[in-house]
Each structure stands twice: as structure tokens, then as C-alpha cells.
Amino acid sequence: MAATVGQVPSWPYGKVTVEHSLPDGDANAASLYERIVGGFSATLFSCTYVLVPLAFLSLPFLLYFKPFSMTTAAVAAPLIISTLVPPIPSRTILQIWPFKHMPKYFNYSEIKEFGDAQIQELIGRRAVLFCVQPHGVFSFGGCCAGVTWAQRWWHPRSIPTAVAPSVIRVPLIKHIVGLFGVCDAAPKPMARRLEAKKSCVLYIGGIAELFLTSGRDEKIFAKKRKGFVKLALRSGAEIVPVYFFGNTSVLSVLTSAGLRAFARATGVTLTWFWGWRGTIVPRPNKILGVLGTPLGLPATPTPEPTQEQIDEWHARYLAEVQRLFDTYKVFNPDYKDKELVFD
């Protein structure tokens, strides 16, 4: 990624380094080939979230009416194979065609308050929770970051993304998401991972935040999410906030209180989403990733943190997310007039 220096009005140090996937962050610098290939790779993810449910719904009818047809075999075989094979994280695949062009499709830029060398030093001595917001319908910001980080310091096997157990079990989806590495986001598996000084990426808002995608202002689900702070304190892990401007603008989603309640209760999302011209192709809107500074949690584990301690560090996390939003939204034209709302 090309690096430039940008002036940030409210940043106390005056200037920060902004890394662009395209020269000077100019969307017009992408060739037609790069746009097509990048859009194709992005659509692979959104397409999977549509085709897999359709395959599950159609398979019983195909088995009943045409059990020995090629169509039935074509639908059943990928589901069966994917069920039997575990997710395969791959740093190599993320660095080759067509995924390397996905950041260019979204004109992805990145701001780091914490450099690559500092990150590697930190994860070498203690577990780190990279706490990401917002989730969006699908985190294309996370995909772009994964592709660019894989070229420098990150490996999906060592720092996977914590996901709902349902994602790990669903055929095909577990493999397309599994390219970036996945681990169980349930409290007990997460606690064991952090206690073993193993880092991971965690989307704080999760499924609940997916249904906050639409609206004029940016809404994130974080006020009631305090479990990650408790896990970090208990294990002596550090928290690093990450914000993706644009995650909620590339796809729109059908929302309702009933759909949101069902998703939170079951861990399964049933809704419809759309992007470019009403299709499942994500809009080529700009995405900006910001890697914040560590919160500074104590490295010594606190086996039984008090509610006061949890509330204090949670408040610091919310304040940091607010600071990142207010400071860097000027770097994404779609966000310069938006406000951050905590749900």
C-alpha cells in the first residue's frame, strides 16, 4: 500500500501516516481490470451468503423429486464435502488473484496509530483482542485489512476471527470465512484462548450490530457488550480498538425487531441485503480502516475483576471508539457529516 502523510485537525500530534491501496487514495486510479476482479472477489463472499441458504432449502425437494439427477449431485456434493472438511485458513490465497484486488475495488485506506513492529512486539508477549466495529452485513473492511495485513505481519492461523458457533458449522460459509481464520466466540473457548496468550479478532457488535446498518448516522452495538472486557482482565490480555469506516455503506439490509430478536436468540441471520443497483454486488464505496492504540489493560491477570473495574475499562473502550470516529471520519467523505450513536 502506498503511504502518504495527512493532516488531522483533532489529532494532537498533527500528522499521521495514511496507507492507500490506490495511489493517493484516488478511486479513479484503479484500472477497469482491477475493479472487475476486485468486485468479483468481494461478491464471492456476499454470493455465498445467498446461495448456501438457497441450496439448503432446495436440496430436500431435489432429493425427493430428482434423487439421481446431476443437478441434485451438483447441489449436494459441495455441501457434503464442506461439512466433512474443516475450515482452512490461508495466508497464501489471500495474497493472490483475485483477492489482492479487493482493497482496490473499495479504494481501501488504512491509518495506524500503532505500527507493524509495535503490533508484532505486543502479540509476542501477551494476548491481544483486536476489537472491531462496526460489523456491517459482511465485514469487507476486515477482508481488505486481512489481505493487506497478510502481506506484512498477520497470519490467519495465529490471529483468527472469533465467530458465532453457527458460522463454524455452516457448510461453504465456514470455508469462505475460514480463509481469514476462525475460532469460537463463545465465552469459555475465548477464555481458554486468551489464557494461552493467543490473540484473535473480535467483532463486538456481532449479529445484533448487523441490523443497525441502515440510517443516516453510524450506529454500533457496544453499550451493553462488556463480556470481552471481563475476558481480557481475567486473562491479562490487551485490547486494541479497530474501526472500519464504510463497513455499513457497501451493503444495505432489511431490518425489523423480529428479525433482530430471532438472530440474537438463534445465532442465525435470516434477512435480505442488497448493494450496487439492488444486486448482491457490494457498492464500490470507500472503506477506511483505523487501527487504534492499545487501551493499556494490566498484563497481570485479574481472576475475579469487580464490576467497577469492568465498567471502568468498558467506558475507556467506548471513549476510544468515539475518539477514533471523531478524529478520522474526515478521511472518508461519506462519513464527514455523520455522528456515532452507541446502541
Residue 315 and residue 255 in contact, taking contact as beta carbons nearer than 8 Å: no
CB 137, CB 211: distance < 8 Å? no
CB distance 63 to 72 below 8 Å? yes
Question: How does pLDDT run across 236-248, given as a tens digit for each residue?
Answer: 999 999 999 999 9
The three three-digit cell numbers of residue 106, written as one number: 473499495
**pLDDT at residue 12 greater than cutoff 60:** no
Question: pLDDT at position 257, please?
Answer: 63
Q: Is 318 exposed, middle or buried (0-12, 13-18, 19+ CB in 10 A)?
A: middle
> Which of 300 and 262 is assigned the larger pLDDT?
300
In the predicted model, what is the mean pLDDT of residues 201-221? 85
**Span 200-226, mean pLDDT?**
87
With 0.85 as the threshold, say if the pTM is over it. yes
Most confidently predicted of 53-62, 105-114, 254-263, 314-323: 314-323
Is the Cβ–Cβ distance between 52 and 171 less than 8 Å?
yes
- pLDDT at residue 8 above 80? no
Q: What is the pLDDT of residues 152-182, one digit of tens each?
A: 889 999 999 999 888 888 899 899 999 999 9
d(CA 9, CA 13): 10
Q: What percentage of residues in the chain have a pLDDT greater than 90?
A: 65
pLDDT given at position 262: 58
212 vs 112: which has the higher pLDDT: 112
pLDDT tens-digit series, residues 30-54? 999 999 999 999 999 999 888 888 8
Residue 36: burial class (beta carbons within 10 Å; 0-12, 13-18, 19+): middle
Average pLDDT score over the chain? 88
Confidence of residue 11 (pLDDT cuts 50, 70, 90): very low
- Quote the pLDDT of residue 336: 87
The length of the chain in residues reads 343
Residue 10 has pLDDT above 80, yes or no: no
Q: Other C-beta atoms within 10 Å of 5: how many?
A: 9
Average pLDDT over residues 128-147: 94
- Confidence class for position 151, pLDDT limits 50, 70, 90: confident
Please write the tens of the pLDDT for every residue from 230-274: 999 999 999 999 999 999 999 988 776 665 655 555 555 666 788
Which residues on adjacent β-strands are paired with residue 111? 18, 290
pLDDT interval class at 210 (50, 70, 90):
confident
Sequence-ordered list of residues with C-beta below 8 angstroms from that of 206, at least 6 positions apart, any chain? 135, 164, 185, 221
Percent of the chain with pLDDT over 70: 90
> How many CB atoms are located within 10 Å of the residue 279 CB?
11
288-291 and 128-133 strand pairing: unpaired
DSSP for 50-104, written as a single string: HHHHHHHHHHHHHHHH-TTSHHHHHHHHHHHHHHHSPP---HHHHTSTTGGGHHH
Helix 32-65 to helix 70-84 angle (10° resolution) is 110
Do residues 282 and 46 touch, judged by C-beta distance below 8 A? Answer: yes
- Sorting pLDDT into bands at 50, 70 and 90, what band is 201? very high
Q: Is 193 helix (H, G, I), strand (E, B) or coil?
A: helix
